[in-house]
Structure 1
């Protein structure tokens, strides 16, 4: 492989590893706030608020671990801008630099300062201050997503700038931040984070239940995860459809690659499965629904859908985008099925069957799969551009020799594999420890109908 391909793979590996952890912390901060506010509400009413705080204290450990992993991997990712992609900051640094700085100043410091109070401040600071710290950390995670996605969206649909001597200069910061794809991308990512955390929460709680944990905090987290997932997945489907229509308007070649549609025309089928062949510019083993793509993208059977042949030399690699999109949609539909099935049982005040608990446990990290697949659709779908229409990927690459990039890539992959395994093992051990430490209490009446009894 040449240096450019290796550099792209290395950055993809870094950002793939990094994005896993903000995807958890963004929504988990708000889940912790939900637990804390319910704790305060029940305590103020004179009820037993201990289960809410137990849920909070369990999940705040996972938040802290995820936050630390995200910080470390984010530093590595930023480091590559200078080593492998110097052309990026040289050409668009006047825009990218301030947006990254805003993220650090308004979000990272907020999270870092008040996370300590969340972790160690309970019983050491006034309750209102502990709650306020949770509010600020949750807000900080969302602010972080805001600024990062503003930059990423600008790279897809740049606006509010002008080129002077080949360098981008800001002319309208509001247009830069609120560029055409930003609102759709922000909503899509926030919902993806919510679904990731919902299934992580439901999955680990289901695992604790299977290991014999009958604590009310376990049931509260399980129900919160299931109900949140059941609500968010239809919203995500709607947001994804709107995001797709926005992409069709601004990046039609990406949509053409997602659909593996080669010729522009009406009555385009929705391809469920195929093997795209860029050499032959055709699909093999195609299984499709007639007129499906035209109906989804144009809302009429004879709607015109763009084809890849109109963008020869200026469209992304088809197969990765095509398959990643189907993985994302497939996982999303599975999330819909499992969360609605579990909600059906809970709404009828019935305990979940073992098969469904196993399904939830197995899907603990399904949000990661969907998020990564969607991220690949987005980022590979932007190629051959780093900033659409402004900076080609090849123009931003460094002159670092391929063997050096290859060596560092191997080291990165080895470290990331070890870290991700360690992270998943730690989360599993936290769940096992909680299951062993929580014994049924007589005053909770946890014999039968536990899911119905938990509030």
Structure 2
């Protein structure tokens, strides 16, 4: 086993999966919100809902494409860098990834075309149905990926046959209790990411004094959804912690930076873990709280890392700090969402510039929380790829050279940086243009003097007389 190639391969997969997860975590929640917007437009007839839908549909399309492109690479890496993992667990992971393709991706790809090009070609009810199917497809995609990853975290329903992990009970694999706490946790994280991105965009427009009707919709709906979901997300986060505590005690000890058994156990709020000395420097702890969090009792005995051999311990610093960053981001988002929702309910949010700035500056927090959550789960699992049965070092492709690993890592870094730069630049251009830079309704031809339902470029209203800019656009269309 080439130790350098192993390290480079781990860095490469960490880089590519971290890049990829940004986009599904955004588009899953955004697809669901687009369904709500389309339903609101259909049942209320309010043009602002349609304009906001068309605006975010473009952004969804770009992010969806970047997610697909960056995700395909991961499948190839299973063969190029982790062929032993593919060989040993292929009978289980292969079908699970195929289910994602045949159910989720086929739904997304088929009905997304209707969203882009079918507005005038299908009935409004079928267009709404297509939007909902795209949202369902993104959710199914997350489900199958989480089933696959949860099996790697807690392998069940298999037997070793001819040197391979072969499924014996698909129901146990798919309906594992670990799946049904981790999948909702990931799904709600995606919804919160979409909610805060939408709310932050609306706050940005409100601070600039433009697109008032659309900004109010974005901020109000985004913060309201976040205010409801964050407490639910915290509950599922606790349930995920229960599964880790039960099935992966060494990961739990690493997250807590608990080096020795404690009864009752304290909770380390912040510290600098010293793996060599097996101690925490500059620690700030709360007595008894560790037992309450770990076992829901006041005097439980909680295991420490010293109970396990050093070669089975994960690197402590990464899960320790990542977990605290994730929780910290969640607490900040909770305060902002609750405060903003209360002011929105009182109809005074749009006049509170300080809170609008807070909403705007919160837009990276759900991405940080998602990434640090994944770092906690994946790094905390080391040194195992399939927990307890396959070490990461044994999952590497045999005879993979350092030169090949360096070359592939460099190519991926350059390619992804190129894609990311242009994708983010184009999304920024769409955000800068705003939801009123295009006509969303077909212009009337029989009554040229009829007032148009088009807002001014400053976004002062969503109905009223056509502005000079709208009239000019209409003349260009008639030409």
Shift of 1:148: 0.7
Q: 2:51 touches 2:436 (CA, 8 Å); kept in 1?
A: no
* Residue 28 of structure 2 corresponds to residue 26 of structure 1: yes
Alpha-carbon separation, structure 2, partners of 1:206 and 1:182? 36
Q: 2:181 touches 2:240 (CA, 8 Å); kept in 1?
A: yes
The 3-state SS of whatever aligns with 1:284 is strand
For 2:15, the equivalent position in structure 1 comes to 13
Alpha-carbon separation, structure 1, partners of 2:54 and 2:363? 19
* Residue 450 of structure 2 corresponds to residue 431 of structure 1: no
Deviations 1:225-253 (A, max 9, x none): 11111111111111101110111011111
Alpha-carbon separation, structure 2, partners of 1:340 and 1:41? 28
Listed as ranges, the matches of 1:217-366 within 5 Å are: 217-312=214-309, 313-352=311-350, 353-366=352-365
Q: 1:275 touches 1:283 (CA, 8 Å); kept in 2?
A: yes
Listed as ranges, the matches of 1:115-154 within 5 Å are: 115-154=112-151
Residues 13, 443 of structure 1: CA spacing in aligned structure 2 closer, same or farther, 3 A cutoff?
closer
Residues 54, 442 of structure 1: CA spacing in aligned structure 2 closer, same or farther, 3 A cutoff?
closer
Q: 2:273 touches 2:316 (CA, 8 Å); kept in 1?
A: yes
Q: 1:212 touches 1:435 (CA, 8 Å); kept in 2?
A: no
Alpha-carbon separation, structure 2, partners of 1:233 and 1:442? 32
For 1:452, the equivalent position in structure 2 comes to none
Q: 1:270 touches 1:289 (CA, 8 Å); kept in 2?
A: yes
TM (norm. structure 2) is: 0.89
Deviations 1:245-277 (A, max 9, x none): 111011111110000001122121111111111
Deviations 1:14-40 (A, max 9, x none): 100111111111111110000011111
Q: 1:204 touches 1:428 (CA, 8 Å); kept in 2?
A: no
Alpha-carbon separation, structure 1, partners of 2:355 and 2:415? 34
Deviations 1:95-121 (A, max 9, x none): 000000000000101101111111222
Alpha-carbon separation, structure 2, partners of 1:207 and 1:230? 19
For 2:410, the equivalent position in structure 1 comes to 410
Q: Give the unaligned 5+ runs of structure 2.
A: 438-456, 465-479
Q: 2:312 touches 2:383 (CA, 8 Å); kept in 1?
A: yes
For 1:388, the equivalent position in structure 2 comes to 387
Question: How many residues are aligned here?
Answer: 440
Q: 2:267 touches 2:290 (CA, 8 Å); kept in 1?
A: yes
For 1:61, the equivalent position in structure 2 comes to 58
Shift of 1:212: 2.4
Shift of 1:443: 6.8
RMSD: 1.6
The 3-state SS of whatever aligns with 2:37 is helix
Q: 1:213 touches 1:434 (CA, 8 Å); kept in 2?
A: no
Shift of 1:291: 1.5
Listed as ranges, the matches of 1:63-82 within 5 Å are: 63-82=60-79
Larger-gyration structure (1/2): 2
For 2:450, the equivalent position in structure 1 comes to none
Q: Give the unaligned 5+ runs of structure 1.
A: 44-48, 446-455
Alpha-carbon separation, structure 1, partners of 2:30 and 2:38? 12
The 3-state SS of whatever aligns with 2:385 is strand
Runs of 4+ aligned residues of structure 1 deviating over 4 Å after TM superposition are 441-445
Residues 436, 41 of structure 1: CA spacing in aligned structure 2 closer, same or farther, 3 A cutoff?
closer
Shift of 1:131: 0.8
For 1:450, the equivalent position in structure 2 comes to none
Alpha-carbon separation, structure 1, partners of 2:167 and 2:378? 23
Q: 1:213 touches 1:435 (CA, 8 Å); kept in 2?
A: no
